[in-house]
Structure 1
Amino acid sequence: MKKNILIISSNHTGNGHKSITEALCEKFKMRENVNVHVVDGFSLGGKPLIAVGKSYGVITRNAEGLWDLIFDVSSVKPELINEIIEITIKEKFIKLIEEIKPDLILSVHPNFNGSIINLLDKYNYKIPVVTLIADLISISPLWADKRAEYIISPTVEAKDKCLQYGIPNNRIRVLGLPVRSRFHYNNITNLKQSKEDRKRLNCLIMSGGEGVGNMKKVANILLKNFDCNVNIIAGRNKQLKKKLELSLTHIYGDRVKVHGFVDNIQELMITSDIAFTRASPNVMLEVASCNVPFIITGALPGQEEGNPYFAEKYNLGIYCNNIKNIYNVVCELEKNNNEKLEEIKRAQRKYINFNSAEDVVDFIDSIPVDRSKISVLRSV
């Protein structure tokens, strides 16, 4: 009998949770013994909770202080968040459990770890819940629910934080952050070779799926001071895309191209010499998987605060917390025939584990299930 796995993800709070889910589904599809059902956790709460999920982009673009407050509240009062989400998703979640009858639930979003465990306990469902942490180092206690069967950590640093939150060592597995195979540089070498034929510096500026950050200043510094081409990813931020096109293309012509949310971003990454990005964990590791050095130009308060330190610790990229210093940083990277750029690329190849998604799927598939312990639905 096939094992039924339910993945609780998110479609609107950035693109990281969705990307991780896609990376796992690539591997699950190769297994005939597994059925996978993916649900956007926010959709279980109907329109009100969907609206909360969609507000992520607006808040992170326009009110970082508010996002910092939200993160702090969830860190201090994780039980409160769990209770609110539990009440909101209860009816649809229990109905989903009855329809799918999952043998195991995998959560890749912090808002749905404790809340779904609360509901499973209340309705006597003995279904193991596994948490896959989607942050690298600055993790919220919402990720670390002691009742989870296992917690899959992307890094040693995130594991250490889980230990501080009281999670037993034997319930944590460090398996890396799953990255979709199309970002693996060894899968797209033809594009990488075409990049080497060009002499002009190719730069990519992006800031996660929501288009956060002052990309115009970064582009101006690059285009004024270097013989370069610049691709800018504005993400879902349509207003930003329009502003950048109006302010940049009439000055720099075809040296600059502004894109919205794209499905082939790996092609833009792999043909770049340097990427400029916010400290989004998913974006950082996707760029590193493409073997492209990156410069971090900002980090959201809360879950991204430690990511610049993480990037520099493993020499995956460089943190430039003052945009005015970008000129000097790029000059330093290009010194001595791109010596530091090559150092970063070597460090990325050493650090990145292309088998991470496979390792996660192997581990999840190895967890034994007992269908006799799954209860019949009680009245909601």
Structure 2
Amino acid sequence: MSQLSDSTQRTILFLIADTGAGHRSAANAISNAIRLISQREQEAWLAQRPATEAEGELPPPTYRIEIVDVFEEYSRFPLREAVKLYGPTIRYNPKLFGEVFHRSNREGTVMAMTSLATPLIFNGLLKLFTTIQPDVVVSIHPMLNFVTIRALRQLGLKIPFITVVTDLISVHFSWFAPGADAYIVPTEQAKQLYLSRKLDPKRVHMLGMPIDPKYTREVAPKEELRRKFGLANDLPVVLLVGGGDGAGGLHAAVRAISQAHLPVQLMVVTGRNKKLYAQLQRTRSRLHVPAEIFGFVNNMPELMHAADVIITKAGPGTICEALSCNLPIILSGYVPGQEEGNIDYVVHNDVGILALDARTLTDALRRLIKPGSPELRRRLDNARKISRPASSFDIGDKILSFLPGPGQDSVWQSQGKHPVQYRMSGRIQSAIRIRRLHNRLPKTITRSAMVRRLSRTQDISNEAAKPARRLPRRNIKNRI
């Protein structure tokens, strides 16, 4: 890989916000798929290298991928702090969040919110773009789309902008900001909602929900996986998942199954909810069913393939992951507003049900674990019909199709360089010069207290970023 020239490198910038774990998970899923696509391209080219070099064929590009939490790293007070209220709100007052979602889901409110937020993030976006110099920008958060399109227009560069929608049915108005080059949606219902906005039908692509490529890989047989996780092979396995934050009525579901004395064994994934993990570990010995308790995990495909049924909140990522593993779904909770449509998706396709109370949940579980259950067989068949485990590869291919072709310069390079600098404001040009100088200096100099003070002084005088902050370390910076 090192033999290939950096002149063929392309930069892909993903814009996210860590409001829940779903947006980052989607960005990671697509970037992992692009990495695998790139590996296949490089291997195919190297295998035919003598012939391709003789014909003057250029090597396939390599990809530098950046995933940026824009609100955390490039917005100003109070916007940065306001976004952090998402997690506590859905946990402690979900009805309030649902009301805000529905009231804001219209053009007038979205445009008013955009006008209020733009002064608090616009300069940060310009700084981000001129620092990273992406060849394509991909948004995986609805609140970023309108302002990003404005910022790209301010630069005057033809940088492709793509929106990847991560809500299955309840797609907020802010997802479809006019002016994007492509809109990638997960379902036919989302596509129809896009078309109802009278936007260009050629720009919408129904490619599925991005889930990690590891869901396409073969795993060990169910019996072997159960031995690995300390489970018996003679009892049905129920997997309980509450999302990255461990929400969604997990504790209540565990208690209901235990009190019903169902002939099952449990695997419970509490995610980042350390309090719930400790609570379940303390009470595990008093449960009337065997249970294994996990915190945040990186082997969810194995856990899903070891299970017979999944109980989860109505997060779109977990739903699509479960479908790719042919699991029937019992929804134990949902976030009002954005996850309401996910319930319709599960119920309408007959791959699961909503069970918000203990009686409904245990009755549904009892029917599914019954030997020879026709309901289980029907839902497994339906899951196979609508699952799209390779969706991230399709989305990755679509994103790559917007990059400059072999031998073509980036919009940031060569002949386009001088017109771009001319159109930029003085403070943005200054930010670029400082960053380039910083990259050329030895680390012993750039880390000195004097240079840091000078950098902060320059940032303030040029108003390139408010408040003055050092450039953050990137979440992902890969040369693939």
Q: TM-score, normalised by structure 1?
A: 0.91
Distance 1:347 1:195, change over 3 A: farther
Q: Which amino acid aligns with 1:334?
A: I
Distance 2:238 2:128 in 1: 45
1:306 aligns to what SS in structure 2?
Answer: helix
Verify: 1:27 aligned to 2:33, yes or no.
yes
Report if the CA contact (8 A) 1:61-1:210 is conserved. no
Name the structure 2 match of 1:67.
97
Report if the CA contact (8 A) 2:213-2:390 is conserved. no
Distance 1:189 1:41 in 2: 39
Give the count of matched residue pairs: 377
Q: Which amino acid aligns with 2:74?
A: L
2:191 aligns to what SS in structure 1?
Answer: helix
Distance 1:99 1:261 in 2: 33
Distance 2:318 2:77 in 1: 28
Distance 1:166 1:231, change over 3 A: same
Pairwise CA distance, 1:253: 7.6
Pairwise CA distance, 1:264: 2.4
1:178 aligns to what SS in structure 2?
Answer: coil
2:221 aligns to what SS in structure 1?
Answer: helix
Distance 1:239 1:322 in 2: 23
Report if the CA contact (8 A) 2:321-2:389 is conserved. no
Pairwise CA distance, 1:193: 5.3
Verify: 1:230 aligned to 2:266, yes or no.
yes
1:285 to 300, 320, 323: 320
1:46-100 superposed Cα distances (whole Å, 9 cap, x missing partner) = 5754444433221111111221133134313111332333222223221221122
Q: Which amino acid aligns with 1:14?
A: G
Name the structure 2 match of 1:316.
351
Name the structure 1 match of 2:334.
299
Distance 1:195 1:350 in 2: 26
1:334-356 superposed Cα distances (whole Å, 9 cap, x missing partner) = 34513322322222222222321
Distance 1:334 1:218 in 2: 16
Verify: 1:187 aligned to 2:218, yes or no.
yes
Distance 1:253 1:295 in 2: 21
Pairwise CA distance, 1:255: 1.5
Structure 2 residue runs of 5 or longer lacking an equivalent are 1-7, 39-59, 405-409, 428-480
Distance 1:345 1:189, change over 3 A: farther
1:2 to 6, 9, 32: 9
Distance 1:330 1:254, change over 3 A: closer
Matched-pair identity in %? 27
1:212-245 superposed Cα distances (whole Å, 9 cap, x missing partner) = 2322221122223312222222222223333333
Pairwise CA distance, 1:140: 0.3
2:23 to 6, 12, 17: 17
Q: Which amino acid aligns with 1:27?
A: A
Name the structure 1 match of 2:277.
241
Report if the CA contact (8 A) 1:144-1:151 is conserved. yes
Pairwise CA distance, 1:145: 0.8
Distance 2:348 2:223 in 1: 26
1:29 aligns to what SS in structure 2?
Answer: helix
1:367 aligns to what SS in structure 2?
Answer: coil
Report if the CA contact (8 A) 1:152-1:175 is conserved. yes
Q: TM-score, normalised by structure 2?
A: 0.73
- Which structure is larger by alpha-carbon Rg, 1 or 2? 2
Report if the CA contact (8 A) 1:238-1:260 is conserved. yes
1:115-145 superposed Cα distances (whole Å, 9 cap, x missing partner) = 1112222343332211000100001011011
Name the structure 2 match of 1:54.
84
Distance 1:334 1:47, change over 3 A: same
TM alignment of 1:1-380, pairs within 5 A: 1-10=8-17, 12-30=18-36, 31=38, 32-33=60-61, 34-42=63-71, 43-45=73-75, 48-76=78-106, 77-184=109-216, 186-191=217-222, 194-195=225-226, 198-224=233-259, 225-246=261-282, 248-252=283-287, 255-335=290-370, 337-367=372-402, 369=404, 371=411, 372=416, 375-376=420-421, 377-379=424-426
Distance 1:192 1:103 in 2: 47
Report if the CA contact (8 A) 1:206-1:234 is conserved. yes
RMSD: 2.4
1:297 aligns to what SS in structure 2?
Answer: strand
Distance 1:27 1:217 in 2: 36
1:238-281 superposed Cα distances (whole Å, 9 cap, x missing partner) = 233333334x3141288223333222233322211111111100
Q: Which amino acid aligns with 2:170?
A: S
Distance 1:53 1:270, change over 3 A: farther
Report if the CA contact (8 A) 1:86-1:116 is conserved. no
Distance 1:46 1:189 in 2: 48
Distance 2:161 2:87 in 1: 28
1:282-332 superposed Cα distances (whole Å, 9 cap, x missing partner) = 111111122222101222111111111101222332222433211211122
Pairwise CA distance, 1:161: 1.1
1:170-209 superposed Cα distances (whole Å, 9 cap, x missing partner) = 110001112112233x522435654497111211112211
Distance 1:293 1:193, change over 3 A: farther
Structure 1 residue runs of 5 or longer lacking an equivalent are none
